Amino acid sequence: MALLEIENLQTHFRTPDGIVRAVDGVSFQVEAGETLAVVGESGCGKSVTAMSVLRLIPEPPGKIAGSIRFNGRELLGLSEREMRDIRGNEISMIFQEPMTSLNPVLTVGWQIGETLRLHQGLDRRAAEARAVEMLQLVGIPEAARRVREYPHQLSGGMRQRVMIAIALACNPKLLIADEPTTALDVTIQAQILDLMRDLKRRVGAAIVLITHDLGVVAEVAERVVVMYAGRKVEEAPVGPLFRNPRHPYTQGLLGSVPKLGSSLTGTATRLQEIPGLVPSLKQRIEGCVFASRCPYATDLCREVAPALEAKAPGHAAACHYAPREGALAA
């Protein structure tokens, strides 16, 4: 049994202009101790998927359907009180922008300790001592002093480390990281990624990494789910996905990544772009969601939605014309 099992997840929002299908039938699993990356461009449904797992979608206007099982327990059937026992304790989340996620009028030590007081019943003194330990764990110097400082007194990288400390305070089994390096410069990004790898080895938590940065995916993930317009279009281990992407959208994403040093070897080429626009999620799409932008699309693609099928061992893609490995085709 996988740690997290998501089946046919549908998260829709009712608006005055119609129903927005932000996530439309997504399924995947996360094994204990695994790092799974969910990638795609902005608006594809990555963050909404993560928020749905923690039941942080307001209803209404949102509506979550399908199945989300954590350790065999169906989360969509739990009460709000039961979900509060899980959030921050068994499943934690690192949000995208630490400056807006941290409370500006509370010290970072108080904010780390709040989780410990709520879920583990520690008193104020014990919670502060544990907060100092957590700041030391995530590599913040002078933790005993920093624990009494406010978010505005810390740099962007340090605030992100505080967010990681809050997320890991109760030793969760699953950590969801939503664009954890987006607002940071390249040097601090590398430090945060090294920190996440190190902490994963120490605490053994599974990680769901939400990102649009394929460089980050190559650094830390073991398996990748590619999303487009609210649907999953490809899933594979990192190596096979980067070596041989099967879906045209994934090929476009990888083709748009600059190749370091290519200009020095005389092989510099213009970066690829994916023409066209993402389809409106307010309209139900009958065929392939990528058909309007795909250079290989035919009438079949525009009329019939392709099923997510195995194209190679452990490698699935939702494309009528994605190449199959010989053994599977036979």
Task: Encode pLDDT of 159-184 as tens digits.
Answer: 888 888 888 888 888 989 888 777 66
Per-residue pLDDT of 228-244, as tens digits, reads 999 999 999 999 999 99
What's the start-to-end Cα distance of the chain, in Å?
30
Least confident among 62-76, 113-127, 262-276: 262-276
Return the structure tokens found at 275.
Answer: 């023409």
SS3 254: helix
Instruction: Give the residue among 217, 242, 231, 246 at the shortest CA–CA distance from 315.
Output: 246
Residue 102 scores a pLDDT above 90: no
Distance in angstroms (rounded) separating the CA atoms of residues 33 and 174: 8
Instruction: State the average pLDDT for the chain.
Output: 86
- Report angle CA 53, 86, 49 to the nearest 5 degrees: 10
* Average pLDDT value for residue range 69-95: 89
* Average pLDDT value for residue range 41-47: 87
The phi and psi torsions of 75 (rounded to 5 degrees) equal: -75, -30
pLDDT at 66: 93
H or E element, residue 206: strand 206-211
Buried b (16+ CB within 10 A) or exposed e, 289-318: bbbbbbeebeeebeeebbebeebbeebbbb
pLDDT at 9: 95
pLDDT at 267: 60
User: Is the Cα dihedral 188, 189, 191, 192 positive or negative?
Assistant: positive
H-state helical runs in 7-69? 46-53
61 preceded by a cis bond (ω within 30 of 0): yes
Contact call for residues 241 and 250 (beta carbons, < 8 A): yes
Q: Kindly indicate the confidence band of residue 330, based on its pLDDT and cuts at 50, 70 and 90.
A: very low
Count Cβ atoms below 10 Å from residue 127 Cβ, excluding itself. Answer: 21
pLDDT at 241: 93
Contacts of 228 (CB under 8 A, 6+ apart): 40, 41, 44, 249, 278, 289, 290
The phi and psi torsions of 265 (rounded to 5 degrees) equal: -95, -5
Residue 112 scores a pLDDT above 70: yes
Residue 325 scores a pLDDT above 90: no
| Residues facing 223 on adjacent strands | 36, 237
H or E element, residue 125: helix 124-137
Residue 221 scores a pLDDT above 60: yes
Residue 327 scores a pLDDT above 50: no
